């Protein structure tokens, strides 16, 4: 089974796979694959070692995994700059800003505290393609670099890491946030220190929740996966807007003044409309996944903005953005990528841009979100079926076509096998919630009948 999943290596920390031994070996293999590139010969001629930036979210296992990663890199002759607890997009930014050879983030994003993960970024702060991940995995069982004496790497604290990131974020704002009251839910995660700081520096009045990480409470009842806490806080404080991060702050969801949730599709609609108006939406195109709401497509069509559709996963969004030199893309989950400012999804950047658009236009978040009508969507995960036969079962595909015909232009159907779990996802959008629910349940029954194990 492949070690790397859709977003690095992830699992139960100190469990069967994600151990200190693996973290050390993975770091050593990464040093071989990413530390010996085209610049290696010139670097050696100048007496310089490869350098890497590492960081983590606040879960307790990140401490021993981070130490193992640092040891693996230094033992391979790589100088390590430890940025401590910072968001994943901050690590990606620092790799590029610091001209590091690569970076390693230790985080399991929105997962529970017992889990952890290792994400690797190449030079420039970009995620690795599958072929490079495969090379690193092959090198796990091969001889590693083993310098001695003065040639081993050093480990140092990256003292101004957070300040560099904050200054970068502030430089992206379309307008200052003076006069706006923002509630920020940091998910007891990596954004707990930096997100309140950057919003306050931008001029906002800030109320903070979910910003007391103790290593065990990350994502626990707070953050982008538990929006009810933020919804209540925004209304209770009479705030203008709420911003929710996940554990490593690479995503952002929002709440308007009335407590209504603004999801990733609505956020993309707001940003695309703004960038289109200002003439900075590259190719006049938005990149979104097949899971994005039908309302987003219709809203973009009304504005004359094209949509490029990808498979689910921010790596596929990034690939399409890079291939077409597009400037905006993302997912319904709140992973939003603005390529002018970031190489990956950045929840702090996204949040700042949303609130900045409120400041620039003088509109409420609800008014901005009205650019898009959200079509009711029902998603059912059908477990314990043979997901490999989804495309080949003609009776199932016929049932899908029948539902699509019934919906016409007022909805859509998406049937897909999960890439990580043994289940099939049935998603139906329709003009009303009851229709979406009943049609999704009808297809669920066909999936269970036709794909039974």
185 labelled ligand-binding: no
Strands 50-56 and 306-310: unpaired
109 is known to lie in a ligand binding site: yes
Of the listed 61, 76, 109, 292, which one is catalytic?
Answer: 109
Name the β-bridge partners of 285: 306
Q: Which of 435, 254, 414, 269 lies closest to 348, judged by CA? A: 254
Local structure of residue 226 (DSSP, 8 states):
-
User: Is 223 within 8 Å of 249 (Cβ atoms)?
Assistant: no
Residues in the chain: 453
Residues 153 and 73 sit within 8 Å (Cβ to Cβ): yes
The residue behind tokens 């669920």 is: 444
Eight-state DSSP code of residue 385: B
CA-CA-CA-CA torsion sign (71, 73, 77, 82): negative
Q: Which residue has 């538990």 as its token pair? A: 226
Going from the C-alpha of 273 to that of each of 102, 148, 188, 302, 333, the distances in angstroms are 34, 56, 32, 10, 19
Residue 109 annotated among the catalytic residues of the structure = yes
**250 assigned to a ligand binding site:** yes
Alpha helices per DSSP H over 75-189: 88-97, 130-138, 161-170
Contact (Cβ atoms closer than 8 angstroms) between residue 34 and residue 102: yes
| 246 assigned to a ligand binding site | yes
Q: Are strands 115-122 and 9-12 parallel, antiparallel or unpaired?
A: antiparallel
- Binding site, by residue number, is 109, 246, 248, 250
Catalytic sites, residue numbers: 109
- Binding site for Mg(2+), by residue number, is 109, 246, 248, 250
């Amino acid at each position: 089974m492949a070690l790397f999943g859709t977003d690095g290596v992830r699992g139960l920390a100190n469990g069967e796979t994600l151990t200190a031994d693996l973290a050390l070996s993975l770091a050593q293999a990464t040093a071989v694959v990413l530390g010996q590139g085209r610049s290696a010969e010139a670097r050696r001629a100048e007496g310089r070692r490869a350098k890497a930036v590492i960081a983590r979210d606040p879960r307790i296992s990140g401490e021993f995994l981070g130490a193992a990663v640092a040891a693996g890199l230094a033992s391979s002759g790589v100088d390590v700059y430890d940025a401590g607890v910072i968001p994943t997009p901050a690590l990606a930014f620092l790799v590029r800003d610091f001209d590091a050879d690569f970076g390693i983030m230790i985080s399991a994003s929105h997962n529970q505290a017992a889990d952890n993960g290792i994400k690797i970024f190449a030079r420039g702060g970009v995620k690795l393609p599958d072929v490079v991940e495969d090379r690193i995995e092959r090198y796990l069982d091969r001889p590693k670099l083993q310098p001695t004496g003065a040639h081993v790497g050093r480990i140092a604290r990256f003292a101004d890491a957070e300040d560099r990131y904050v200054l970068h974020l502030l430089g992206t704002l379309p307008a200052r946030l003076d006069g706006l009251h923002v509630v920020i839910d940091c998910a007891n995660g990596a954004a707990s220190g930096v997100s309140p700081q950057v919003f306050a520096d931008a001029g906002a009045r800030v109320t903070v929740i979910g910003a007391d990480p103790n290593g065990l409470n990350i994502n626990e009842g707070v953050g982008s996966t538990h929006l009810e806490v933020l919804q209540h806080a925004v209304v209770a404080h009479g705030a203008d807007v709420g911003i929710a991060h996940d554990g490593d702050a690479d995503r952002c969801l929002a709440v308007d003044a009335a407590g209504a949730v603004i999801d990733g599709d609505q956020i993309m609609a707001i940003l695309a409309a703004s960038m289109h108006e200002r003439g900075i939406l590259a190719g006049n195109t938005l990149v979104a996944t097949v899971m994005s709401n039908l309302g987003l497509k219709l809203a973009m069509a009304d504005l004359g903005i094209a949509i490029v559709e990808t498979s689910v996963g921010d790596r596929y969004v990034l690939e399409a953005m890079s291939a077409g030199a597009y400037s905006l893309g993302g997912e319904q989950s709140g992973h939003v990528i603005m390529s002018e400012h970031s190489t990956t999804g950045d929840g702090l950047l996204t949040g700042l841009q949303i609130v900045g658009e409120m400041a620039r236009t003088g509109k409420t978040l609800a008014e901005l979100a009205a650019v898009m009508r959200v079509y009711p969507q029902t998603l059912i995960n059908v477990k314990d079926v043979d997901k490999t036969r989804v495309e080949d079962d003609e009776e199932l595909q016929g049932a899908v076509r029948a539902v699509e015909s019934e919906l016409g232009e007022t909805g859509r159907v998406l049937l897909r096998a999960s890439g990580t779990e043994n289940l099939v996802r049935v998603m139906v959008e329709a003009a009303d919630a009851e229709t979406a629910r009943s049609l999704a349940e009808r297809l669920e029954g066909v999936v269970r009948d036709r794909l039974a194990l």
